[in-house]
Structure formats: structure tokens, C-alpha cells
Structure 1
Amino acid sequence: METPLLNNGDDSNRLKAENGDYAEVKCISEAATVFKEETIKLWKIAMPLVFNIVCYYATTSLTNIFVGHLWELQLSAISISVSVIYTFTFGFMLGMGSALETLCGQAFGAAQVHMLGIYMQRSWIILLLSSLVLVPIYIFAAPVLKFLGQDPDVANLAGQYTILTLPSVFSLAISFPTQKFLQAQSKVDVMAWIGFIVLIEHAVLLWLFISVMGWGLRGAAAAFNITEWVTAIAQVVYVFGWCKNSWKGFSWAAFNEMWAFVRLSISSAVMLCLEIWYVMSLPLLAGHLPNAVIIIGSLSICMNVNELQLMIFVGINTAVSKELQQAVSKLAWFLGVTMVLNSVQPVISGIAVGLGWQATVANINLACYYAFGIPLGYILGYVAHFGVMGIWGGMIAGIFLQTLILLFILYRTNWSKEVEETSSRMQKWGGQDISTHKVGDDI
């Protein structure tokens, strides 16, 4: 039965149904009105998040700019450390924390706001323990990079930088769950402000430690550690002070049904790690090509521009040699194709996380990225002798295939059935029936 329209003379309200959804639109003007309203709502939430992400990735680009003034070897060392070791860590920790995105989003939608704080505490515990697993990778970064076939000079310098950035790993265990906690409640403006302030702070620290005090890579590592911890602490302070409805204090309930939460966290980690580590394999494969220092440096610039998209390309390019600029120009059209795909693929992955499809997407990523994209890139790069352009082209093909498959799955999805299954997912992965939970076990 069609829901009656509300008609009070306003086109916007007339299109609204009694249950808050839009009724059936019957003409182009009504469709345009709905599109305009939903676009405004979307950007009110999306713009602060986009700004925060840009600020976060800009810290890496600023580091490359300052280090790029030192020498090409230092730039390549930081690039390989960030692209391999930190990306490995980032993917693992973000994936483990993404279980919170599913549960917090569904709990907030079910008006069980008090559960958000408990879920966040549970995620803190799991990610802090997970951080310990990553410590040996940081300590033995240089041997690992050499084992993967990287240039010894680059690997040794990258290993030194990686060990110095070890404190930042534990900050991710705090900041990632806190971000998901805030995002679920659409408290995104504060995240944007924190991101902006931290970006300014990072630029000042880089200038002070590298340009003024001359600490080189040690200064870059120190600035990075401080920036990561300032971000985590600022977010936690906001949660403790201004999120009274969703933060009820520390609770023993965070330890209940921990294994159910771990299982979802592992599924999320596998899904996102396969996606993020796929990009990590690009500089790894390119590191075996001749003139690896220049190739890795040029890839670093392209990957940073791809992540930021709003940063000025010339501003990054002026930090490096003329030789590197020519290498970047050859890869620029690959960068353009990747940016187009990146405008679609993250949206689809976000829907999958919200619906709890992590395991399904993990299998798709494994097939498209590692069974198709990387082998194709290797064949084009080394067998067909297209070099780094062939490697990147093969990987783009993997992303394109993954995007097509996910679009097809979304097209065939029964959304009514997904809504019905939300409660059962929350009970299974949350470790308890949230409808009967009472906040009586707080410490």
C-alpha cells in the first residue's frame, strides 16, 4: 500500500512519507528535489570526513616534501617504509578496528547508544593486544625488506626509520576505534578540526626537527610519532568530555563475549588488508626493477597524490630532483585511471562493511587482487617488459574487476532481507542481546 504524501504547500515536505522515507516520485522535478536534499545531507557528513582524511594523508606528503630536500635515498627509504611496513600495519589495525564500524553503526541505528562505548572499549583491548604482534616486524624491518628483494641501501635506511616510528603503532589501537565511535554518531566536525590542527602541528614539528635542528630521518620519525599520539589523545579527550550519552565510563561488559568480537575483527582485517596490501605490493614489485631508487621515489609521489587528490602536484614535485619529475610524468595517466576507480570502490566497500559482508568481500579481494591483478602486473612488467607501467596496469585491472563484481552483488541484493538480518548480526557479533542490556555493570 502506497504511503500517503504530506501536502502542506512545500515541495520538500510533500515528497516525504509519514515514516520519514520518500514516497514514489512521479516526475523529473520531484526526483531533482529528492536528489538535492539527499546530496546536501550526504555532504554535511561527508565533507568533514573528507577533510579529515585529506589532513591525515597530508602528514605523509609533508614528510616526503621535507625529506625530499635531504636526498633521493632518504626519500626512497621513507617511501618504502611507509608503503610496505606502515601500510601493512595500517591495513591490519584499520581492519581489526572496522568491526566497530559495523556494530556501532547498527547499534546507533537501533537507538542503543550506550552500547557504542562498550564496543569501543572492547575494540581498544583487542587492538592493543594486536599491536604487540606487529612489534617484531618493526624491529626486523631491514632484514624483511632485504628478503623481499629491496635495494640494500634503501632497506637499511628504511629499517632505521621504521624502528624509530614503533611508538606510533600503539596510537592506532586507540585512534581507529575512537574514530569509528565518533563516525557512527555523525560527530565528524570535531574529527575535521582535530585533523586540521594536527596537520599544522606536524608541519611545525617537521620544520623544527628537520630544517632547524637538522635531525634528518630521526626528526621525521619523531614528528610522526608525536602527531599520531596527539591525534589519538585529542579524540579520547573529546569522547570523555563531550559524549555523555554514548560514553558511560569504563565497563566490565567490554570483556564479555570477547571471542565473538575477535572473529568479526579478523574478518574485517582480512577484507581490508587484502585491499590495502594490494597497493603495498606495487612498490615491492617495482623495487626489483633497474634504477629502483628513482622508480620508488616516483611511485611515492604518485601514490601520495592519489591518496590526497586535493594536494597541489607541483608542491610535492618541487621537493625532488628533475629526474624524478620526468619519471612521475610517465606514470601520470595511470594515476588518473586509479583516481577514477577510487571515486567508486571505497563507497562500495563502505556499504559492505556496514552490512557485515567482510568475509565475502575478503574472498573477492583475494581472487581479484592476488589471483588476477598481481600476476597480470608481474607478466606485463617483467615478461612483457613494460616495467613499472605494466605492474601498475595489471593492478588497476584487478581493482576494476573487483569493483564490477561488487556492483553486481549490490544490484542483486535483497535490501529488505538485509534489514531483517541486522538484529541477528548485532546479537552474534556484539556478544549479547542489546535489546535487554542494562547499564548497571559500569565500573
Structure 2
Amino acid sequence: MDDKEVEERFAAKKDDDLKTRVWIESKTIWRIAFPSILSRVTSFGMVVVTQSFLGHIGEVELATYALIQSILVRFMYGILIGMSSATETLCGQAFGAGHHHMMGIYLQRSWIVDGITATILAPVFIFATPILRLLGQEEELAVAAGPISLWFIPMIYSFVVSMTISMFLQAQLKNLIVGWLSMAAFVVHVSLSWIFVNKFKWGVNGAMAAMNMSGWIMVVGQLVYVFGGWCPNTWRGFSRAAFFDLLPVVKLSISSGVMICLELWYYSILVLMAGYMKNATIALAAFSICLNINGWEFMVCLGFLVAACVRVSNELGRGNAKAVKFAIKTILGTSTSIGIVLWILCMVFRNQISYLFSSDEEVAETVSSLSIFFAFAILLNSVQPVLSGIATGAGLQSIVAYVNLGCYYIIGIPMGILVGYIADLQVKGLWIGLMSGVVMQSLILGWFVWKTDWDEQVRKASERLNRWLLKPPEEANESPFDA
């Protein structure tokens, strides 16, 4: 056999080995990502379905709901999902390191921290009307927002339980149950919305009641799964240990909260700015429809954010830097491919999308004029969340927070004001500003991930886990249900 044949066989074997590795990694990624996508798409779908029913009640109801959902709910949701991502980091790394008993303690600590946070911020919904007046919104919209905003308070508390349990389960690759529960809740939500709004004619109250009932159905299902013995290694019952070492969790939660909040509030500020434009009701309705379409697709990308976070945190917990880098490449390739497909679909159906949410021709025309812009935003969504997930898995949320601050608030919002108001492109200008911030963020995070020393991150993860490690109850001669 000559040297050329040896080289060819070696190259073929290497290619086969690479294909096997990609196949194994892809199966692991989809095992995490698919349930998360199913869960997030259906959960966000409840918001979109509610908007659709309200949009056919009236334009004022649609614009008011969009204002509350895009500003107040995003404000609260950003804080809670950010605080909860500390659970994602800690549980993922603990599972990778084999510290299974600590995962239940981390979950309980997150309930304490997030529950207190939700209670502190609940008055935002109670005083929605004066807050929106203070922000300079139209009087009709501010007054209509008062009754609707109160319906979001029980939903916020459902977020506290649901988001943390989802992160607890996905870290141990048991999040398929979350996907199926979310799907069931979505089906219930569509059915209840149709019955309450179309049959019983309960209007706005019927639509909001359906959303709350559906959300809590999912929470009850998750609690039954965790408490019912399906997580025997990671849930050992309630423990006093949950009340100790809360400060480090709060610090990591705050870093996570700032990272997510700066991103979600960025969109909220742009919606707020749309409320100051000519014909604010139409501008708000059209901009919110585009944001919700973009947000619904973003839920697919968040599935890959979750996969990136879990894979990176698990492998860092195991101490395998090479596996971290290979997982990053595979996830980015998969997510980008799906983003291209969705971009094509959005371009093809761009003139028909708006009629799912409103029959108003002026709103439909405005949405169609924005379609090309949010098609490219959808393409960007396939990359940026994965990069954020990589940072979350490594516990580097504070760095991403600074990146978000610079890209969104120093570049994106000023650009939106400049093009939207000074150049008088109105809603188009706001969307151009939105995209400029996301493009810059993606470039910086991509460079950051490429330059990260993952061997150093393995060492830091090991130090963090060992510092917070407690002995299992059986080793500490303590009852696991010691409350």
C-alpha cells in the first residue's frame, strides 16, 4: 500500500469519526432543544393567541394589550427569566459534576429569590394606568390598561414556578415532560379562549382568564412530576439548606437578570417609542404584531439557547473543554440552518401574516412594509441566542450584560430615534435601530466565544461547585425532608 492510499484511508476514517461525533452530539442537542422549543413556542403561543382574540374585539384592546405585554410584562418577565437563569447555570454544572442532590436545593433557593422579587415588583401591574400616563401614552390606552394589567399578576407567579422547574428538569435531560405539558396547556388555552370570547362573549376578561387558567395548569403538572417521585436523585424534598448561601445565588441571579433584562427591555423601549408616533394606535398594533411574530420564532431559537447552556454547563461540570467547543460548533450550525429556512418562509408569506392578528387594512399595510426587516431579524435570531446560551452555561452573564448595554442602548436605541424620528421613517426607523443593535451584539459575542479559554472556564466551574457543595442528606445523617 503506497503513502497516498494510507492518507486516503486515514482521511476517510477521520471523516466517518467526525460524522459519528456530529450525529451523537446532534441527538443530544435535539433531546434538549426539542422539548424546550415545544414548551417555549406553545407558552409564547398563548400570548399570541390571546392577542389574536383581542385584536378581533377591537383595535384599542389590541393596542392596549400590546402596550402592557410589550412594556410591563417584558419588564417583569425579563427580571424573572434572568434571575431564573442562575438556576440553569448551577443545575447544569452540578449535574455534569455528579452533584445531583444539590440540584433540588438550587431549585428551592431560586423559588425563594424569584418569589420575593415577583412580590416586590407586583405593584407595577396594580398602578399600570398612572405609570403609562407618566410615560406619556395616550389617555385612552392608559385607562384601558388598568383592568387588563391586573390579570397579569397571577400569571407572573406562575412564571416563578414554571421557569425554574423547566430549567431544573432540562439540566438533567428530563425536559420532555415540560414540552408535553406546555402543549397540553396550549390546546386548553385555545379551546378556553374560543369558548370564553366567542361563545360566552366575555370579551377581554374571557381572553385573560383563559390565559391564566392555562398557565397554572402547566405549573400544577410540573409540580406533580417533580414531587411525585420522577426525579429521585435530584429532588430529595424540602430542606433548610435552601435558606443558606442565598447571597451568592442572588449575585449570580442579578448578573443573569441584568443580561436578559437589557435585551427584553430594549424591545419594550422601542414599543414605547412607537406609542409616541403619528397615529399611535396603528403604529403600536403593527409594531407589536411584528415583534410577536419575531418573538414566536425567537422561542425556537431559545430552545437552542437552552441546549447551548445545558451542553456547555454539563461539559464544564465534567471538566471536558474539547467537548464544550465541539458542542458549540454543532449547535451554531444547526440553529443557523433552521434560521435560513424560517427567513425564506417569512419572505414568501410576508404580505399575509398580519391578517392572523387584525382585519384592519391600515395595520396590515404597515406590517407588510416591515416584513423584510423582521425577516432579517429572524435570521439574526438563529445566532445571537445561542451565543448568549453559551455564556450562560459558563456563568459569564455579567460580561454579556455589558455587551447588551453597549449594543442596545448606545447603538440600537439612538439609531432607532435618529432614523425613526429625525429621518421620519417612523416604525421602519425603529426596526432599523433594533436590528443595528442585534447585529453588533452578535458580532461581539461571536468574537468573545471564539476567544474564550475553555480550559480556564473548566477550572472556574470546578471551584464554584466545590465552594457551594453540601454533603448529601444520607452522608450528613440528616433527613432529606428536614424542613
TM-score by length of structure 2 reads 0.83
Of 362, 368, 390 in structure 1, the residue corresponding to residue 429 of structure 2 is: 390
Q: 2:138 & 2:460 partners in 1: Cα distance? A: 51
Q: Deviations over 1:69-96 (max 9, x none)?
A: 1111111111111101111111011111
The count of residues paired between Structure 1 and Structure 2 equals 419
Aligned equivalent of 1:133: 120
Aligned equivalent of 2:165: 178
Amino acid across the alignment from 1:35: V
Aligned equivalent of 1:369: 408
Aligned equivalent of 2:338: none
Aligned equivalent of 2:227: 240
Aligned equivalent of 1:421: 460
Q: Deviations over 1:132-174 (max 9, x none)?
A: 1111101111111122222211122122201122111111121
Amino acid across the alignment from 1:201: V
> Shift in Å at residue 37 of structure 1?
3.1
Deviates more, 1:224-233 or 1:259-268: 224-233
Of 98, 102, 119 in structure 1, the residue corresponding to residue 89 of structure 2 is: 102
Indicate whether 1:35 and 2:27 are aligned: no
Does the CA contact (< 8 Å) of 1:286 and 1:388 recur in 2?
Answer: yes
4+ runs of 1 displaced by more than 6 Å? 310-313
Q: Deviations over 1:382-434 (max 9, x none)?
A: 11111111111112111111111111111111111111111222345xxx334
User: Following superposition of structure 1 onto structure 2, how do residues 215-234 of structure 1 map, counting pairs within 5 Å?
Assistant: 215-234=202-221
Q: 2:197 & 2:137 partners in 1: Cα distance? A: 26
Structure 2 gap ranges (5+): 1-9, 298-341
Does the CA contact (< 8 Å) of 2:354 and 2:368 recur in 1?
Answer: no
> Shift in Å at residue 316 of structure 1?
5.8
Of 400, 413, 425 in structure 1, the residue corresponding to residue 439 of structure 2 is: 400
Aligned equivalent of 2:355: 317
> Shift in Å at residue 208 of structure 1?
1.8
Aligned equivalent of 1:285: 273
Q: 1:347 & 1:217 partners in 2: Cα distance? A: 36
Indicate whether 1:87 and 2:123 are aligned: no
Q: Give the share of equivalent positions with the same residue, in percent.
A: 39
Amino acid across the alignment from 2:185: V
Indicate whether 1:358 and 2:345 are aligned: no
Aligned equivalent of 2:244: 256
Amino acid across the alignment from 2:84: G
> Shift in Å at residue 270 of structure 1?
0.7
Q: Any idea what SS the aligned residue of 2:462 has?
A: helix
Q: 1:124 & 1:347 partners in 2: Cα distance? A: 26
Indicate whether 1:336 and 2:323 are aligned: no
Aligned equivalent of 1:3: none
Indicate whether 1:265 and 2:303 are aligned: no
Aligned equivalent of 2:320: none
TM-score by length of structure 1 reads 0.90
Does the CA contact (< 8 Å) of 2:55 and 2:61 recur in 1?
Answer: yes
Q: 1:51 & 1:339 partners in 2: Cα distance? A: 18
Does the CA contact (< 8 Å) of 1:165 and 1:224 recur in 2?
Answer: no
Indicate whether 1:297 and 2:285 are aligned: yes
Aligned equivalent of 1:142: 129
Distance 1:188 1:143, change over 3 A: same
Amino acid across the alignment from 2:355: N
Q: 1:111 & 1:239 partners in 2: Cα distance? A: 19
Does the CA contact (< 8 Å) of 2:289 and 2:357 recur in 1?
Answer: no
Q: Which has the higher helix share?
A: 2
Q: Any idea what SS the aligned residue of 1:98 has?
A: helix
Does the CA contact (< 8 Å) of 2:127 and 2:146 recur in 1?
Answer: yes
Q: Deviations over 1:256-284 (max 9, x none)?
A: 11112111111111111111111111211
Amino acid across the alignment from 2:224: V
Does the CA contact (< 8 Å) of 1:252 and 1:441 recur in 2?
Answer: no
Q: Any idea what SS the aligned residue of 2:173 has?
A: coil
Q: 1:372 & 1:441 partners in 2: Cα distance? A: 54
Aligned equivalent of 1:44: 31
> Shift in Å at residue 192 of structure 1?
1.0
Q: 2:353 & 2:429 partners in 1: Cα distance? A: 27
Distance 1:387 1:212, change over 3 A: same
Aligned equivalent of 2:189: 202
